[in-house]
């Protein structure tokens, strides 16, 4: 009798991949570069999600909020456009250019709108009597569209940036969105292997709000706690995926509460109490305060994330480093990725390559007025 194999040797291995880079001096780089980097980690995903965050891509409209919207049906588009018309001056609206490809089946409709808030009665009420800023008002509108208009989703809503994402491998999504036609000074990319939540167009990374965008490898086990905490501040989770809470939490901590990015990272991935006990008094007080105030913002579970804004790119691991993150520098460029080879693919000889410690953020901000 022929011996039977003990394993299925043809097994797909996957685990999500991410990569990103920033030119601190604001040099704009073509989309083909980030595509090359994420494509090297093709096998970290399984074709159920790919996406890109791109900054500095709309310089001619840099004073307008660039809304990328996704529509699952014509009614959603009609309702969302009525909503936008009622609340915004729209400088330009157009289809997001796409390319029909075999790899992408049944994509939703994508449109973009370069807009500024109209001074409606509601706007004046919000600014004059509720102390809201334009950013607050945008957040409120994003939540309203995502929550109230069935089949309409805001893919991104920041100035001079955009998210491009969907169901497919990242290189397929890049081809679909003609990503090579854009140039930006910060790029992030994600290759998804959905574990706990559906692989749908809205569930691909990055997750965004204003100009924040997050790509994530791992699982946010504390999603329920984080979601309920964010709801108290008016953030509504509608994307059916754990990573969404990271984008909103950072918006709350950094933009609303004024924490520095480094301190916000500490709230997400604080030191263990046993380590805090060993620190000098002033640090002990700081970390104790952060953990007490932001206990509900702590992200539990394994993660490596890249989060970007127009101001910079930040990489962060969970406290015990259960997901990979490698960083490198060359000239004014900083690279962060799940695998060193994904960096080497686009920067063969970096001046420095290192792996940050768990919970230790790598912060690369743009210099001057980029």
Could you give the residue numbers annotated as active site?
16
User: Which of 345, 347, 361, 362 lies at the binding interface for other proteins (CB under 8 A)?
Assistant: 345
Q: E-strand spans in the chain?
A: 17-23, 29-30, 50-55, 65-71, 88-95, 109-117, 152-156, 161-166, 183-184, 186-191, 207-209, 212-218, 303-309, 312-317, 326-330, 333-337, 352-354, 362-365
Q: Are 319 and 228 in contact, with CB atoms under 8 Å apart? A: no
Max Cα distance, the chain (Å): 84
Cα–Cα distance for residue pair 98/201, rounded to 1 Å: 15
User: How many whole angstroms separate alpha carbon 182 and alpha carbon 262?
Assistant: 30
**74, 97, 120, 354: which one binds other proteins (CB under 8 A):** 354
Number of residues that bind other proteins (CB under 8 A): 22
Q: How far is the CB of 40 from other proteins (least distance, A)?
A: 5
For the CB of residue 326, give the shortest distance to other proteins in the complex, in Å.
8
Of residues 109, 144, 355, 363, which one binds other proteins by CB under 8 A? 355
* DSSP at 233: T
Min dist. Cβ of residue 13 to other proteins (A): 8
- Please list the alpha-helical segments (H only) found in 177-335: 223-231, 244-250, 261-268, 273-276, 281-293
Nearer to other proteins by Cβ, of 117 and 324: the residue is: 324
* Least distance in angstroms from the C-beta of 170 to other proteins: 15
Q: Which of 75, 78, 357, 367 binds other proteins (CB under 8 A)?
A: 357
Tell me, residue by residue from 13 to 32, as one string, x for binding to other proteins by CB under 8 A and - for no binding. Answer: x-------------------
Work out which of 32, 85, 340, 365 binds other proteins, going by CB under 8 A: 340
Of 284-323, binders to other proteins (CB under 8 A) are 320-321
Measured from the CB atom, is 72 or 329 closer to other proteins? 329
Q: Which of residues 38-57 bind other proteins (CB under 8 A)?
A: 40-41, 43
Q: Exposure string (b/e) for 275-305, b if CB count within 10 Å is 16 or more?
A: ebeeeeeeeeeebeebbeebeebbbeebbbb
**The binder of other proteins chosen from 72, 257, 324, 365 (CB under 8 A):** 324
Triad 46, 358, 33: Cα angle to 5°: 45
Residue 346 contacts other proteins per CB under 8 A: no
Closest C-alpha to 138, from 161, 165, 156:
156
- Looking at beta carbons only, is 217 or 249 nearer to other proteins? 217
Q: Is 344 in the site for other proteins (CB under 8 A)?
A: yes
Q: Counting every residue, how long is the chain?
A: 370
Distance of CA 101 to the CA centre of its chain: 25
Task: Report in angstroms how near the CB of residue 14 gets to other proteins at its nearest.
Answer: 11
Which residues here bind other proteins, judged by CB under 8 A? 13, 40-41, 43, 275, 278, 320-321, 324, 326, 339-342, 344-345, 352-355, 357-358
């Amino acid at each position: 009798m022929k011996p039977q194999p003990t394993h299925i040797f043809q097994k797909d291995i996957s685990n999500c991949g991410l990569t990103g880079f920033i030119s601190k001096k604001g040099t704009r780089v073509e989309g083909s570069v980030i595509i090359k980097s994420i494509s090297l980690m093709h096998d970290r995903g399984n074709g159920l999600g790919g996406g890109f965050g791109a900054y500095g891509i709309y310089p001619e409209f840099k004073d307008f909020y660039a809304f990328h919207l996704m529509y699952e049906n014509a009614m959603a588009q009609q309702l969302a456009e009525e909503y936008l018309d009622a609340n915004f001056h729209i400088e330009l609206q157009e289809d997001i250019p796409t390319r029909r490809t075999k790899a992408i089946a049944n994509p939703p409709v994508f449109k973009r709108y370069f807009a500024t808030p109209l001074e409606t009665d509601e706007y004046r009420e919000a600014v004059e009597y509720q102390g809201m800023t334009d950013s607050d008002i945008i957040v409120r509108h994003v939540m309203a569209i995502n929550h109230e208009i069935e089949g309409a989703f805001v893919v991104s809503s920041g100035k001079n940036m955009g998210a491009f994402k969907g169901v497919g491998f990242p290189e397929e999504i890049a081809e679909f969105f003609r990503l090579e036609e854009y140039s930006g000074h910060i790029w992030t990319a994600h290759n998804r292997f959905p574990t706990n939540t559906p692989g749908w167009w809205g569930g691909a990374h990055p997750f965004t709000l204003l100009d924040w965008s997050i790509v994530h490898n791992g699982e946010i086990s504390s999603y329920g706690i984080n979601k309920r905490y964010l709801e108290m501040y008016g953030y509504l989770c509608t994307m059916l995926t754990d990573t969404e809470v990271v984008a909103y939490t950072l918006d709350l901590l950094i933009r609303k509460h004024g924490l520095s990015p480094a301190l916000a990272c500490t709230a997400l991935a604080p030191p263990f109490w046993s380590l805090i006990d060993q620190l000098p008094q002033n640090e002990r007080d700081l970390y104790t305060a952060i953990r007490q105030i932001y206990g509900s913002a702590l992200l539990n579970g394994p993660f490596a994330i890249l989060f970007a804004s127009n101001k910079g790119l930040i990489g962060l691991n969970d406290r015990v480093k259960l997901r990979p993150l490698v960083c490198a520098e060359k000239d004014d460029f900083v690279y962060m990725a799940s695998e060193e080879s994904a960096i080497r693919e686009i920067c063969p000889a970096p001046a420095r390559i290192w792996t940050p410690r768990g919970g230790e953020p790598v912060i690369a901000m743009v210099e001057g007025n980029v």
